[in-house]
Amino acid sequence: MALFRRETVQTAASGGLETLLGSSTNFQGVLKSDGNIRIDGILQGRIETAGNLVIGPTARVSADILANAVQVWGYIQGNIRTMGRLEILSTGRVFGEVTVGSLMIDEGGLFRGQCFMDGQDVDELAMEPEPKLLGTGAPDAGEGHNGQPVSEPDKDTIAEAGPADDAPSPESAQAAEENQ
């Protein structure tokens, strides 16, 4: 039993296996079925099934595929369309355009191509217009950070406030210089 890893038990999709192309089989053409298919050999052409498709670890498939769900242990070059899930397992390699309901790629699995995910009730994200910038970013003379006018404090207000509490007096600054 694997603790954090998927066990490598290769099973056909639920409902039983109807069609099997063994590892010594080389098929060219269109393969159509209403049931589940497993391919362990070489197939070139097109695969259409209302059921699920399993591409075994020894399979080499160059085809366009239409299936309910697809599980890939081997190699596929071609376009895949599935209403369900496309699983690319640790030894799986997929090259092409895929349109799926969901996609899962195991560690070690490889997908090179373009993926489109079907979403029946999902609207495309509407982009909002870019916000308008206020000026060049630096305040003009006489303006604060928000563009509001800034008034100069008058001299009487500064004189009433006096020096800051923690600011050194001129006498203490001169004494500090003499001590150095």
CB 73 within 8 A of CB 91: yes
DSSP conformation letters of 40-108:
-SEEEEEEEESSEEEE-TT-EEEEEEEESEEEESSEEES-EEESSEEEE-TT-EEEEEEEESEEEE-TT
Residue 145 lies in a domain: no
Residue 129 lies in a domain: no
CB 110 within 8 A of CB 92: yes
pLDDT tens sequence across 46-92 = 999 999 999 999 999 999 999 999 999 999 999 999 999 999 999 99
Residue 40 lies in a domain: yes
Give the total number of structural domains in the chain: 1
Give, as one character, the DSSP assignment of residue 143.
Answer: B
Domain housing 30: 17-117
Residue 51 lies in a domain: yes
What is the reported pLDDT for 16? 82
pLDDT tens sequence across 104-150 = 999 999 999 999 988 656 566 666 777 777 765 555 555 555 555 65
Rounded Cα gap, residues 122 and 120, in angstroms: 6
Residue 167 lies in a domain: no
Q: Above pLDDT 90, what percent of the chain?
A: 54
- Give, in degrees to the nearest 5, the angle at Cα 150 between 147 and 153: 170
Residue 26 lies in a domain: yes
Rounded Cα gap, residues 95 and 98, in angstroms: 9
Q: Which positions ≥6 away from 125 have C-beta within 8 Å?
A: none
pLDDT tens sequence across 17-56 = 888 999 999 999 999 999 999 999 999 999 999 999 999 9
H or E element in which residue 159 lies: helix 155-161
Tell me the CA distances in angstroms from 72 to 28, 93, 109, 124, 174, one per residue in order. Answer: 19, 7, 9, 29, 83
Residue 76 lies in a domain: yes
Residue 37 lies in a domain: yes
Q: Answer whether residue 12 shows pLDDT above 80.
A: no
Band the pLDDT of 1: cuts 50, 70, 90.
very low
